[in-house]
Structure 1
Amino acid sequence: MAAMDADSAPASAPAGLKARLRALFSGSGEASLTRRLAGTIFLIRVVSAAMAYFSQILLARWMGSGDYGIYVYVWTWVLLLGSMLDFGIAASAQKIIPEYRASGDHARLRGFLSGSRWMTGLASGAIALLLAGLVKLLSPWIDADTIVPLYIGCLTLPAFVVANTQDGIARSHDWMRLGLMPQFIVRQTLIIGFTAGAFALGLQLGAVVAMGASAAAVWIAMIGQMIVLNRRLGSHIEAGPKAHDYRGWLKVSLPILLVESFYLLLSYTDVLVLQQFVSSEEVGVYFAVVKTLALVSFIHYAMSATTAHRFTEYHTSGDKERLAAYVMHSIKWTFWPSLAATLVLLALGKPLLWLFGPQFTSGYDIMFIAAIGLVVRAAIGPMERLLNMLGHQNACALAYASAFVLNLILCLLLIPHFGGHGAAAATSIALTFETVLLFWIVRQRLGLHVLAFGKRN
């Protein structure tokens, strides 16, 4: 009998784990749906991160740390500006679309689905031309090796912005794969393919070629996503008249843009300030550290992308109890996976950095400093999305603005003396300050306890 029990235990353990996983992700309620959608987003981001990590390793080894540092600097500007030049439409889509659907305003819904992309595409194209002119004007004071990559970065911006807008539209319909895969899987695949092809052809793989490959990948992925999204929207929404409420969209979007802008500035200030005080090689090392820790941020991103439009739905319906339960669910599923991922990444940090090149392991101790801010931020989950969706975006923007100013001041004070260590410390302190402010704002305005642990009222 004991032998039989011993033999059956290993078989029952996997069966029990399988049953628990099935119960966790296969339910029909909002929590189960959220976990499935967040799991889909997280899986896409993890696969994308692995591909991006692989591509960054290849670029760092093929280009050398100097050209790689230039590429990182220019690509950071593309990420920063490209995420801001949609005027907040990508984020506000998760508020506007559910409200139009709930009110039955199909004319404005149809108008938004097409007009928002035209608006952001044309506006970002015009701004990209102005930025290219600014690069030309400032070229005597810009490093000569950086000028052409900056021009290519300007060319990339319109496609990047339209792709972000389409991502917001797709996520508002729970089409997570359509929203994210073109940007995070297709784009990365094309970047790897184009740069590997250039390397195989014997081309000098510097910052110019790498930025050209990235620009082509962004444009191709965006156009493919547009074709599929238009086809799916055509079968999902009946044809009819369109109403374009550009002023109304901007009224909702611009305060959210303010929040997103300060968040992005907070995210990229360290790299941009670091470039002004240290060598391109040191910037490359710091960026490798940030990329290695990116998995933690992806968990936060997955829950934010999944929950935002449901915060709007539950708030609009007046179901406060349901909203409060959903908020706490999103916090728990942000913090505990983030903590686990951080511990794993810190344990494996040195060999992961070594993949970029032996010199990149010098940034291993920076990982511990940078990880603190990410874990602290995860402790309150996607509360910036909650505030944005419930009409408290101004208070949220103030919190982010305060954290950005603190981060900038600390970067300017610490980076000249401590380099990458100072950048990581400045960002972690700013993220901790931001988390405390958001916790207090949600507590005061919504009466919700938004920590993954502790007392709940």
Structure 2
Amino acid sequence: MDSAQGLSKPAASRSGTVAKLLAKGGSISFLINAAGMGLALLMQIVLARLLGAAGYGTYAFVTTVTTFLVFPAKLGFDTTIVRLVSAHKAENAWPLIKGLMRRANQIGFVLSLTVMLIGLAVIAWRHEGMTNAQTAAYAVGLITIPLLTLATLRQSALQALKDVLFAQMPEKIIRPLLTIGLLLLAVYAIGMEANAGVAMLCFAVSVGVSYLIGAVVLKARIGGQTALVKPQYETRKWLNLSVSLMINGGMYLILGQLNVLLMGMMESETQSGFFSAAVRLATLVSFAMTAINMTAAPLLSETYAKGDWKKLQQVCTTSGRAGFTFAAVIFIAFAIGGRPLLGLFGSEFTAAYPALVLIAAGQLFGAFCGQTGTLATMTGYQKTLTRALGAATALNVALSLALIPQLGMTGAGIASFCSSICWNAAMAVLIKRKFGVVTPVWTPSLRLK
């Protein structure tokens, strides 16, 4: 289904509608993400300056470990909610929405509590050789897992309902603001020592507050529709779908964060902190696409369900071009001014500049390939995505193990770049063959047979 060379009036009208939908939701999401990215960057700089290279390395390593542990706790239900709630809402199937949300929260809470308790037991058993600040950082990080899990599920529900503002504001705006404010208050007003444990405690409090705000908003959004209906459950179907989606989510997580963990295990937590700063900066390259996908993902699901292939192509083309344009600008900025930006974290962090450019280049290529992973996930072809991500994950791990001992952070950056090229290029080809939809931007005449 190649993009139309000459749009009829209905097609042109449809294209304009798609653009308006993406512009309305995407612009709100873009602004929130822009503010959120700025605050996240500010938070990382404040943390690096206050904690020092070693303390920041511990904080970055612990938050990465926590992110990995939240992943099995949510069991893929976050993506399932985005995909199914939007479809159920279009069908006015509120009993299914209520049942899905209740079951997802029940399973997520039990699993996250289990993960938290196991993690705390491990820390209690193996804390010898760790400083008090390190022990506190790990313990507090583990305690946040249940709240982080439930917050992710709540965010997914609001995204599916197209409430872009409140789907993101608690985590992207309120959480970093509170973390920064509480840390500065703890250090300068109360006189506490600036270490990783105190920083994680401030983060944990901000997680709790942002979760409560988001939960209240979600109840206000759907409480009227779900209060009087009896929940309907399709637990086995939901579990089968969620586990499949969880596999892909795990591979995304590995591709994005595994190198940070490997740097900490194979080099040091300090080196992991340097590399983590590069990873956090590099995510700015793709953040416009992430913002747009808050609106595009449920729209892709709805459009596919209706069998409107032309609109599906238009959603991919419009969102892809907008995301890539921004990605190109940010990549150029990093290529030119990456060292001074890393220097904001501290002079030692400039050693991560080659890794920053490599990771950002991989993100840029992913933005060029467009709506590959999102389209496959929202249309039920997650198994195709699984194969591509599996190959890329294996490549990432192999290259990381081979290159990090020799090249350090640069080796980890090469592994990230190569794996990003691998799965995005493969998915662009596979999607063209399966759907006839061209996802790479500005190549409407491309033939991928």
2:442 to 417, 431, 453: 453
Q: Separation in 1 of the partners of 2:37 and 2:107?
A: 30
Deviation per residue, 1:61-86 (Å, 9 max, x gap): 11111111011000011223224421
Q: Structure 2-normalised TM-score?
A: 0.91
Q: Please give the alpha-carbon distance, in whole angstroms, between the structure 2 residues aligned to 1:177 and 1:111.
A: 24
User: Which residue matches 1:68?
Assistant: 56
Check whether the contact 2:366–2:420 (CA below 8 A) recurs between aligned residues. yes
- Deviation of the 1:131 alpha carbon: 2.2
Alignment pair present for 1:367 and 2:356:
yes
Instruction: Show the counterpart of 2:115.
Output: 127
Letter in 2 for 1:349: G
Query: Which region of structure 1 is more displaced relative to structure 2, 351-360 or 416-425?
Result: 351-360
Measured at CA, do residues 123 and 43 of structure 1 come closer, stay the same or move farther in structure 2, by a change above 3 Å? same
Measure, in 1, the Cα distance between the counterparts of 2:47 and 2:329.
29
Cα displacement string for residues 11-38 of structure 1 (whole angstroms, at most 9, x for unaligned residues) = xxxxxxxxxxxxxxxx972221212212
1:183-202 C-alpha deviation (Å, 9 max, x unpaired): 11111011001111111122
Q: Is structure 2 residue 146 aligned with structure 1 residue 154?
A: no
**What is the aligned partner in structure 2 of residue 81 from structure 1?**
69
Q: Do residues 268 (structure 1) and 239 (structure 2) align?
A: no
User: Is 1:302 aligned to 2:291, yes or no?
Assistant: yes
- Partner deviation per Cα, 1:245-279 (whole Å, 9 max, x = no partner): 22222122211111111111111011000111223
Is the 2:58–2:270 Cα contact (8 Å) retained in structure 1? no
What is the deviation of 1:301? 1.3
Aligned partners of 1:309 and 1:389 also within 8 Å:
yes
State how far apart, in whole Å, the 2-side matches of 1:369 and 1:113 are. 39
Any runs of at least 4 consecutive aligned residues in structure 1 with deviations exceeding 4 A, and if so which? Answer: 140-145
- Which of 111-120 and 124-133 deviates more? 111-120
SS for the counterpart of 2:231 is: coil
User: Which residue of the partner structure matches residue 301 of structure 2?
Assistant: 312
Aligned equivalent of 1:425 = 414
Identify the residue that residue 222 of structure 2 maps to in structure 1.
233
Residues 138-197 of structure 1, C-alpha deviations (whole Å, 9 max, x = no match):
445877753332221110111001111011100111101111010111110110011111
More contact order relative to length (CA 8 Å, sep ≥ 6): 2
- Give the secondary-structure state (helix, strand or coil) at the position aligned to 2:369: coil
For the Cα contact (< 8 Å) 2:135–2:197, is it kept in 1?
no
- Paired with 2:130 and 2:289, the residues of 1 have a C-alpha distance of 36
Aligned to 2:5: none
Letter aligned with residue 73 of structure 2: L
Is 2:156 the counterpart of 1:168?
yes
Q: Does structure 2 conserve the Cα–Cα contact (< 8 Å) formed by 1:40 and 1:176? A: yes
Q: Distance in 2 between matches of 1:258 and 1:95?
A: 16
Aligned to 1:47: 35
Tell me if structure 1 keeps the 8 A contact 2:320–2:441.
yes
Cα distance in 1 between the residues matched to 2:130 and 2:243: 32
Query: 1:243 maps to what in 2?
Result: 232
Distance 1:48 1:84 in 2: 25
Offset at 1:439? 1.3
Q: Which runs of 5+ in 1 are unaligned?
A: 1-26
8 Å Cα contact 2:133-2:195 kept in structure 1: no
How large is the RMSD of aligned CA atoms in angstroms?
2.0
The alignment status of 1:389 with 2:378, answered yes or no, reads yes
Alignment partner, residue 279 of structure 1:
268
Displacement of 1:419: 0.8
User: Could you tell me which residue of structure 2 aligns to residue 16 of structure 1?
Assistant: none
Contact 1:292 1:349 in 2 (8 A): no
Partner residue, 2:9: none
Q: Which moved more, 1:446-455 or 1:262-271?
A: 446-455
User: How many aligned residue pairs are there?
Assistant: 431
Q: Which amino acid letter does the alignment assign opposite residue 97 of structure 1?
A: V
Q: After the TM superposition, which of the residue ranges 415-424 and 238-247 deviates more from structure 2?
A: 238-247
Structure 1 stretch 40-49 or stretch 58-67: which is displaced more?
A: 40-49
The residue aligned with 2:96 is 108
- Check the 8 A contact 2:58/2:196 in 1, yes or no: yes
Q: How far did residue 452 of structure 1 move?
A: 0.9
User: Paired residue for 1:346, among 323, 335, 353?
Assistant: 335
The DSSP-based 3-state class of the residue aligned with 1:29 is helix
Alignment of 1:429-440 (within 5 A): 429-440=418-429
The amino acid of 1:90's aligned partner reads: D
Match of 2:18 among 9, 19, 30: 30
Match of 1:21 in 2: none
Alignment partners' CA distance in 1, 2:263 and 2:408? 7
Could you say what secondary structure the match of 1:379 adopts?
Answer: helix
CA shift digits 1:275-332 (9 cap, x unpaired): 1122333222222222222211212212332211111111111111211222222221
Identity %: 24
CA distance in 2, matches of 1:363, 1:141: 28
Alignment partner of 1:195 is 2:183: yes
